[in-house]
Amino acid sequence: MVTIFTTPLATPAQLSTSPSQLSGIPDPVEQKLRLVACRLIQAAGILMELPQPTISTAILLLQRYYLTTSLPSSPLLQTCLASLYLSSKLTEHAQKPRDLINILKYLLSPASPLYPPHLLPKDSEETTEKKRSNKHLYYVSEGDYTALKSLLLSTEAKILRALGFNTTVNLPYTLAFNYLQALGVLSHSSPPKSPSESPSDPLQHPKLVSTTFAYLTDLLSSPSQVYLTHHPHELAVAGIYLAARDHGVKLPERWWEVWDVERETLGFLVVVMRGGTYVGDKKVWIVEEGVWEEVEGGEVVAIGAESVEREVERLRNL
């Protein structure tokens, strides 16, 4: 049984005014940077074959950290690196700083699928694929590596201090799985004797788990940051609710009450989950330094401290 009561939660005051906003970063800029951080961490985690709990933990550590620390005082790249590094240790999947740095630098290079295609060099005849596969595009020099590693390590210490060393992250995945089992909607939970007695539809229900998990993972990058305000069992119930609806699986009346989730809480979470991410379906391209701009079908976010500063300045002068 997962200890659900020990998850540290944000206070309303912490959520309404962030340190970044206090230091002059407008809310939309902060939200976009947070979203980009989620994308980077998720992508890096997948490339490194880290389990989703390790990735999710990194994202949540980063979100909690920015509740007490401003973006200018802890720029995004080093914070992504440190969050992943820390979560890999906390979840017993420790990674080397070297590997993390290589992957993150790759993800920010022109070789990366996250890099805006219109910024790729235009002159050559090569296809986009070819351009992206060029190895020297993401080569990390020894000097860069040393500098980034020391930033990674000092940011790790800063994160731990900012969180009061409470790194407890209780994710909703296992709970959601247990709840689905308890609801008896997973296939094979009790083998049917005849078709009419079939307690579940085995062709339909296996997807229930993956859809539930997908909702829960999507929710990590939601601008509402409900992982910071809600208990894991509440998130789990909301994920199941939507997944069951998607697959047309009928659940018992008021089943969420078994897990002490208020209908109002569930309603709120369902609305948030359906709301999607801040940018909707638009594509977000990521570069390290550059210009924030709207381009066809998406937008470019430049995460480097100077680029962020320039964007903030531009918005101020609008």
Nearer to another protein, 160 or 214 (CB): 160
Q: How far apart are CA 95 and CA 80, in angstroms?
A: 14
- State the minimum distance, in angstroms, from the CB of residue 127 to another protein: 38
Nearer to another protein, 10 or 284 (CB): 10
Burial of 87 per CB tally in 10 Å (0-12, 13-18, 19+): buried
Residue 176 and residue 212 in contact, taking contact as beta carbons nearer than 8 Å: yes
Tokens 């790249």 locate to: 77
Helix axes 206-220, 263-275, angle to 10 degrees: 80
- State the minimum distance, in angstroms, from the CB of residue 250 to another protein: 5
Nearer to another protein, 59 or 111 (CB): 59
Nearer to another protein, 269 or 308 (CB): 269
DSSP 108: T
Nearer to another protein, 135 or 250 (CB): 250
Residue 41 and residue 55 in contact, taking contact as beta carbons nearer than 8 Å: yes
- State the minimum distance, in angstroms, from the CB of residue 285 to another protein: 31
- State the minimum distance, in angstroms, from the CB of residue 1 to another protein: 6
DSSP 226: G
Tokens 């902060």 locate to: 30
Distance from the first to the final alpha carbon of the chain: 53
Q: How far apart are CA 120 and CA 307, in angstroms?
A: 19
Instruction: Give every strand in the sheet of 293-295, ordered side by side.
Output: 283-287, 298-302, 293-295
Nearer to another protein, 2 or 120 (CB): 2
